[in-house]
Amino acid sequence: MEGSYMTMTELSEQEMALVVAHRRAVRAAMQLDVVRLLGLAARFEAWKMEHGAGATYSTFCDDFGYDAQDGENRHTTYGKVQEIIESVYTLLSVDKAHYARKGE
């Protein structure tokens, strides 16, 4: 039937096992990407600090030398890396007083 979907309670035990296995595999693949992107963001931020470099796409590709993995869109990866770095700065800015005391 068009527009009609089975609910999880209508699946057999074997079908449920397949769904659960698929969800676990997707989650495991995502976790690997999370670790890879977090590491890449940390390396890029440290490199920028060390070299006094900006955060441009050309800096990421040419100077930092990021080489995309097979099938990966470098521009998309750059955007994700920048979002991760900005998110961390946003999280840290909540406790500005702590960093102000460190600078004294």
DSSP string, 30-84: HHHHHHHHHHHHHHHHHHHHHHT----HHIIIIIS---PPTT--HHHHHHHHHHH
Q: How many structural domains comprise the chain?
A: 1
Q: Residue 6 domain-assigned? A: no
Q: What is the pLDDT of residues 42-101, one digit of tens each?
A: 999 999 999 999 999 999 999 999 998 889 999 999 999 999 999 999 988 877 777 776
Domain that holds residue 93: 11-102
Q: Residue 70 domain-assigned? A: yes
Q: Residue 51 domain-assigned? A: yes
Give backbone dihedrals phi and psi of 2, rounded to 5 degrees, phi first: -70, 135
Rounded (5°) CA angle 26-71-42: 75
Q: Residue 4 domain-assigned? A: no
Give backbone dihedrals phi and psi of 95, rounded to 5 degrees, phi first: -110, 50
Q: Residue 75 domain-assigned? A: yes
Q: What is the pLDDT of residues 16-45, one digit of tens each?
A: 899 899 999 999 889 999 999 999 999 999
